[in-house]
Chain A
């Protein structure tokens, strides 16, 4: 590598844009599917933990343990089951990481419903299901979404570690750049991953504004 190697060679990006795009799409799929699965699983589990308090502590402890496992180690241990360089090998562990963030978020969110509000709902004749859907869950939205933001951002960033087992979306650019001692792919990869994370985070903030219109109404009142 010459001394004058620039951090970014723009012509390289232009020439390789189609393959970068393919990696980007792969990255988005492998990052977002786990968060979506995590949310779908965390809602009933969180509800169950609120309903049966005894379940909560063991679930949270287990999730703490899961969360502390290094992603690379988990990918590797899964290879015999799901295969090398397969999407599932990355998606399954990331789903568990999402769960580890989302279950406590759902439980805390439902816990943030003030007592007088749920009592009013009961007094107004809301059944358990209607109370959940129309009162408890909407009030829980800010806390759940805060968890969702953490889960999404870390999922987007963690996918790239999968490159070490041959399936890491944009993470491939890091391996490529390292092997050729060439900065451009690495910089492109980092910028795109961070941009994806910022974009996803922004969309979730927007979703929160749309889902909780009363929060703004109260502020302006």
Chain B
């Protein structure tokens, strides 16, 4: 506990490029950029294979393999291969790790929509694209958001690990603190990351409440 006071009580830790606000902003910036990039790739792909019902095996196999990939190893290897020095190569493993949960959940969400619902949408004269956007996506939204939440939390955690290869953000306190045996900084950084992860978790719960149509969520509760 004393260590926490040492870290958060130290005025120097609250200002400058190495201060908590800057590091927090950096962490959020990397995470948001990585998540957005992953979404741009994974959501359309998931919608496509969920709607056309092709390539499912490939997705499931890839996603399972991706879950086994050790983040630290991937981060270290990609950054060594792409080149050390700039920050942006570090984003590649973050994006790579965020894609599978978004892709799989989007696909599973769309695929899992009730057959009758899909048929009645066609029966009402909607076209393929309209069925997807007006019926399938809203019904699949809880699962899609779950995928996004898992990905976001994974990105926040991996961004911490990526501080080891030079990424800024809150991980810096942990990695630098470990290197210099500055335990107040290490523990302080760990607590900040944990709090950030919890805020992300909470944010997605709120998002879910706002975005998911009440009809859909009420039906989910009955199940």
- Chain A residues with a Cβ under 8 A of chain B: 64-65, 68-74, 76-77, 79-80, 150, 153-154, 156-158, 160-161, 163-165, 168, 170-171, 173-175, 177-178, 181, 183, 186-187, 189-190, 193-194, 197-198, 201
30 A-B contacts (beta carbon < 8 Å): A65-B201, A68-B198, A70-B161, A72-B160, A72-B174, A73-B160, A73-B194, A76-B178, A76-B186, A77-B190, A77-B191, A79-B186, A79-B187, A156-B68, A157-B67, A157-B68, A157-B70, A160-B70, A164-B161, A165-B178, A170-B70, A171-B72, A174-B76, A177-B76, A177-B80, A178-B164, A183-B77, A186-B73, A186-B77, A194-B65
Is residue B71 within 8 Å, beta carbon to beta carbon, of the partner chain?
yes
Contact indicator A73/B73 (Cβ below 8 Å): no
Contact indicator B69/A164 (Cβ below 8 Å): no
Is residue B92 within 8 Å, beta carbon to beta carbon, of the partner chain?
no
User: What does DSSP make chain A's interface, helix, strand, loop or mixed?
Assistant: helix
Is residue B46 within 8 Å, beta carbon to beta carbon, of the partner chain?
no
Given contacts A157-B67, A193-B70, contact A73 B80 (CB under 8 A): no
Residues of chain B lying within 8 A (CB to CB) of residue A177? 76-77, 80
Could you list 9 further interchain pairs (A-B, Cβ under 8 angstroms) beyond the known A161-B161, A190-B73? Answer: A68-B197, A74-B194, A150-B67, A153-B67, A157-B70, A171-B73, A193-B68, A197-B68, A201-B68
The residue in chain A whose Cβ has the minimal distance to the Cβ of B175 is A164
Contact indicator B193/A190 (Cβ below 8 Å): no
Instruction: Please report the C-alpha to C-alpha distance between residue A171 and residue B70 in the assembled complex, in whole angstroms.
Output: 8
Contact indicator B156/A183 (Cβ below 8 Å): no
Residues of chain A lying within 8 A (CB to CB) of residue B201? 64-65, 68
Instruction: Please report the C-alpha to C-alpha distance between residue A219 and residue B171 in the assembled complex, in whole angstroms.
Output: 51
| Interface size class, chain B | 35 or more
B residues 70-98 touching A (CB-CB < 8 Å): 70-74, 76-77, 80-81
User: What does DSSP make chain B's interface, helix, strand, loop or mixed?
Assistant: helix
Is residue B126 within 8 Å, beta carbon to beta carbon, of the partner chain?
no
Contact indicator B191/A73 (Cβ below 8 Å): yes
Is residue B167 within 8 Å, beta carbon to beta carbon, of the partner chain?
no
Instruction: Please report the C-alpha to C-alpha distance between residue A189 and residue B70 in the assembled complex, in whole angstroms.
Output: 9
Contact indicator B194/A190 (Cβ below 8 Å): no
Instruction: Please report the C-alpha to C-alpha distance between residue A147 and residue B95 in the assembled complex, in whole angstroms.
Output: 26
Is residue B64 within 8 Å, beta carbon to beta carbon, of the partner chain?
yes
B residues 27-60 touching A (CB-CB < 8 Å): none
Contact indicator B74/A190 (Cβ below 8 Å): yes
Contact indicator B174/A73 (Cβ below 8 Å): yes
B residues 166-203 touching A (CB-CB < 8 Å): 171, 174-175, 178, 183, 186-187, 189-191, 193-194, 197-198, 200-201
Instruction: Please report the C-alpha to C-alpha distance between residue A66 and residue B193 in the assembled complex, in whole angstroms.
Output: 13
Is residue B132 within 8 Å, beta carbon to beta carbon, of the partner chain?
no
Contact indicator B76/A186 (Cβ below 8 Å): yes
Contact indicator A157/B161 (Cβ below 8 Å): no
CB distance from A24 to the nearest CB of B (A): 13
The residue in chain B whose Cβ has the minimal distance to the Cβ of A195 is B68
The residue in chain B whose Cβ has the minimal distance to the Cβ of A73 is B190
Residues of chain A lying within 8 A (CB to CB) of residue B212? none
Contact indicator B197/A164 (Cβ below 8 Å): no
Instruction: Please report the C-alpha to C-alpha distance between residue A69 and residue B153 in the assembled complex, in whole angstroms.
Output: 8
Residues of chain A lying within 8 A (CB to CB) of residue B161? 70, 72, 161, 164
